[in-house]
Structure 1
């Protein structure tokens, strides 16, 4: 074995051709474990066998209550995120289905919506949070309050009769997918302008994007969360919170938008892990998961 002997004589170490590959695989496994552990803390507790609410039509963003240039900045940033997750671009003069509203009296505005703009608040059966809970959050002066309206549909369109009961008209059957899907029809993020003084436009846009496109948990215990997320904006404060969408935020949104229309909640973890792996490939990254400092 002359080659080995030569290496020993010169004091050189034989290079480990697999070391880097093993390290990357190890980092990915750690990242997957961290993602799965934190996913349940950050996303809404949808029943395992319910379908995931999300947009299927292009996102049409409208920002209300900001200066024109700020509105354009926020709109463009949210639109980029929507395109990144796979939604088609909206057409000019589209009808808004994603509202970002900034106002100094969100509680008063909400009460006016209930009487004058009921379509924005929606009926209880279509909304993902009850009216009394929204009122409680507004009364507590949360810096941001969000809600979503969605319907239950299948390939033949809406499937609710006049009494609110589901009419099954699809012949599709699957143990991992539902006969139905739940398209969002309208998503709203309502900001309290008196509590966002030091928040950047990028943070406002990215925080809104996760709520508009996804279904994050309404009350998150960030002490139990190891990964950074823009969702911590109003818990950590704008200086300490991430300045933009994090690895987790991007993987979560990318994951749910790669699932089929009727995918059940139980498939979300696998989809998010796949979304994270795709990030690594696209960015030629080592997949080392960033943790909170």
Structure 2
């Protein structure tokens, strides 16, 4: 593990950019960016276009380590290059930004009010390649929709089980049990989730450190205990479908919780913008999310 990167993520001021929309969500991400589905044919063209979008974001002067601590990449992005360097190397060497990799394979069908992760059958191979590509940590997402104790326990058990495999490979896992912002039982889900996470954190071994990625809680500062836990490197928040403004306002109510926004970061970016317009829009989003993260 890179100690300088570890220290930056643990103690740095700023937030983590999520640039990891994968196969299923890519058409939607491109459409929001002003590239309609009928303007490309096939997956190859689609992934070329989304890499162009991510390259434009990452190479923008607004994508600055003064505000951004790390960036979460999709596997295809890790294997592609920006200005002749693999993406993670470009982030680390040219930008001073710590690279993470999304490793989950999407969500299983809903059961007990939750969606577990689909099995990650090639995880060992992915982690080997992640190390080769100088990735610092990983991210994997599950979703909680109901305050079902059995379901929430299953989500957290699975996350930590996979997380330990990632730690054993020398990487830092971002454990992401998202609570659906539209759940009528959101607050109750969060109480149950916090208790389950604490139980697992207390059982981690000496060199087993994790990060957590959570939905911004209904009750402000609910996750303070997680943020302060000695086994937790950092707790980051997803925007979860909230607009940038709403997500930022909610984030400000939670001390020590920093952003790891995807849609809220890129919602005002468009393929048809001039570089000047694009960079200005990105700079506005970056600065607003940064301010919310350090408040």
TM-score of the superposed pair, with normalisation by structure 1: 0.25
Question: Which of the pair has the greater relative contact order for Cα pairs under 8 Å at 6+ separation?
Answer: 1
TM-score of the superposed pair, with normalisation by structure 2: 0.25
Larger radius of gyration: 1
Q: Per residue, is there more strand in 1 or in 2?
A: 2
